[in-house]
Amino acid sequence: MAQERTGVITFKGNPMTLIGPDVGVGQSAPDFKVVDTGLQPVSLGDSAGKVRLITVVPSIDTPVCDTMTRKFNEQAAQLPDNVEVYTISMDLPFAQKRWCGNADIDKVKTLSDYQERSFGENYGILIKELKLLARAVFVIDAAGKIAYREIVPEVTDEPDYDAALAAVKKLV
């Protein structure tokens, strides 16, 4: 039985339950298996040796998630090649691909956790009540350690973009 945590996030003011461990800075980043927009599997090991900026959204088709992904896409264009930028959600890969095409997203790789929920469960951000991922940002260094983590307390709020990007820039 997976660990359940309460008191971490709300959704529109309502308390939610997170499934999975409280993964923190300094810990080894858990592996995961998600799929890209072509239904190909992607894991943490696929980008070993690179700095990873992983942004997590409940659904890419909602206004805050749309804004967040666009802002990180703009910033990703200014990051060096040894940085991978992922946006992970429970959206189907087909919806992610359509959205990215419509939004001209070309620097952020959208990945879906819909098949196994391994990202959400391994990083402790799967919302039990909604079966969606909580809004979060993780920065993983080239050695596979978590260098930065923000789980946004109110799911409908945006993350701290500057702090996340500062964490990335410290590592490159």
- Classify residue 83: in a domain, yes or no: yes
Residue 51: name the closest of 166, 147, 150 by CA: 147
Catalytic residues: 65
Tens digit of each residue's pLDDT (9 = 90 or more) over 148-169: 999 999 999 999 999 999 999 9
Angle at the Cα of 153 (from 45 to 95), degrees rounded to 5?
55
Evaluate whether 164 touches 135 at the Cβ level (below 8 Å): no
CB atoms within 10 A of CB 72: 24
**Which residues form the domain of 157?**
49-171
pTM as predicted: 0.95
Does 131 reside within a domain?
yes
Distance of alpha carbon 88 from alpha carbon 72, whole angstroms: 13
Residue 13 lies in a domain: no
CB 52 within 8 Å of CB 83: yes
Residue 165 lies in a domain: yes
Q: Is residue 2 part of a domain?
A: no
- CATH number of the domain that residue 79 is part of: 3.40.30.10
Q: Is residue 25 part of a domain?
A: no
Residue 5 within a domain? no
* Three-state secondary-structure class, residue 162: helix
Number of structural domains (the chain) is 1
133 is a domain residue: yes
Read off the pLDDT of residues 37-85 as tens digits, 9 standing for 90 and up.
Answer: 999 999 999 999 999 999 999 999 888 888 999 899 898 888 999 999 9
